[in-house]
Copies of this chain bind each other. A is one copy, B any other.
């Protein structure tokens, strides 16, 4: 059965984190960006996910960013906050901090330093996270992004976690980008939890298979087109909208996507705080920025 509150569905951008010249987060600009995306019709905001460079930020920076965005006036029930760290203790701290501020939805990576770990080890890590958080309000979204984290979350593990913690496990973000994986997850889990797909490129197929929506990096710069795709998903024009949306995404994916999205926002809003990234990511070179803008323009005109 679907959760009646705090659902995750529709189009939810995973927001970028703008940085000041000294490398600290520009929280006022981030809050403004969240506000604009919500005004454009997004169904929520994922703060501090992979796209937000969360794992290049310290625990205390992550706390400050969440506090700042809420203080700026973004409603707690619009946010899903990334709280997954290598150490379960940090994940517990960040999730409890979010709950203490009224943010009940957390997107949680498995502990991702050790590789080739067992399903039992991953089960114990999530179980211990949930039990140490010990808060009935928690809505945890499991976060599967194996090409970055190195840790695939299999459907059997997810089902077992959901059976053990039916209230706490609210959903799943599948960013595998691999359709057979996404299809299986949507079909097996779509009736019992919110399966959010990590790219709008799979949105139509995933919705048909049981997904609830998408959490998208591209939505930082192309939210309206993706929302239109979501809304028209059952209409004959959906395939045409999808072609346009995919062409835009492909323009960004021709480059490392986080620096590319930031560069594009910097160009189009003329705000330099969007341009920089934290190492080990690298900003695009000026000629790459020019190429990117040209490619995106061409894609948008199609």
Interface residues of A (CB under 8 A from B): 50, 55-59, 61, 85-90, 93, 110-115, 117-118, 120-122, 124-125, 128, 147-151, 278-282
Task: For the complex formed, measure the closest distance between the CB of A85 and the CB atoms of chain B, giving whole angstroms.
Answer: 8
> Can you name the residue of chain B whose Cβ is closest to the Cβ of A122?
B280
Are A57 and B87 in contact, CB atoms less than 8 angstroms apart?
Answer: yes
Task: For the complex formed, measure the closest distance between the CB of A296 and the CB atoms of chain B, giving whole angstroms.
Answer: 22
Beyond the given A56-B87, A56-B111, A151-B280, could you list 5 further A-B residue pairs with CB under 8 A, ordered by the A residue number? Answer: A55-B113, A57-B89, A58-B59, A117-B280, A121-B282
| Residue among A56, A128, A279 facing the most chain B CB atoms (10 A cut-off) | A279
Are B128 and A86 in contact, CB atoms less than 8 angstroms apart?
Answer: no
Complex Cα spacing A87 to B87, Å: 13
A-B contact pairs, 9 of them (CB 8 A): A56-B86, A56-B88, A57-B87, A58-B89, A59-B59, A59-B90, A85-B86, A117-B282, A121-B281
Task: Please report whether the interface of chain A is mostly helix, strand, loop or mixed according to DSSP.
Answer: loop
Are A114 and B280 in contact, CB atoms less than 8 angstroms apart?
Answer: yes
Task: For the complex formed, measure the closest distance between the CB of A94 and the CB atoms of chain B, giving whole angstroms.
Answer: 11
Q: Known interface pairs A57-B89, A93-B58, A121-B280. Does A112 touch B113 (Cβ–Cβ under 8 Å)? A: yes
Are B121 and A88 in contact, CB atoms less than 8 angstroms apart?
Answer: no
Residue of B56, B115, B120, B125 near A113 (CB, 8 A) is B56
Task: For the complex formed, measure the closest distance between the CB of A88 and the CB atoms of chain B, giving whole angstroms.
Answer: 7
Residue of B56, B58, B124, B281 near A279 (CB, 8 A) is B124
B-chain residues with CB within 8 Å of residue A147 when the two chains form the complex: 115
Complex Cα spacing A55 to B111, Å: 9
Complex Cα spacing A111 to B93, Å: 21
> Can you name the residue of chain B whose Cβ is closest to the Cβ of A128?
B279
Complex Cα spacing A107 to B120, Å: 30
Q: Known interface pairs A58-B93, A89-B61. Does A282 touch B113 (Cβ–Cβ under 8 Å)? A: no
Are A88 and B279 in contact, CB atoms less than 8 angstroms apart?
Answer: yes
> Can you name the residue of chain B whose Cβ is closest to the Cβ of A62?
B87
> Can you name the residue of chain B whose Cβ is closest to the Cβ of A86?
B55
> Can you name the residue of chain B whose Cβ is closest to the Cβ of A23?
B128
> Can you name the residue of chain B whose Cβ is closest to the Cβ of A148?
B115
Complex Cα spacing A76 to B88, Å: 29
Are B58 and A282 in contact, CB atoms less than 8 angstroms apart?
Answer: no
Are B90 and A279 in contact, CB atoms less than 8 angstroms apart?
Answer: no
B-chain residues with CB within 8 Å of residue A88 when the two chains form the complex: 56, 278-279
Residue of B50, B87, B148, B149 near A58 (CB, 8 A) is B87
Q: Known interface pairs A122-B280, A279-B128. Does A148 touch B114 (Cβ–Cβ under 8 Å)? A: yes
B-chain residues with CB within 8 Å of residue A113 when the two chains form the complex: 50, 55-56, 112, 148-149
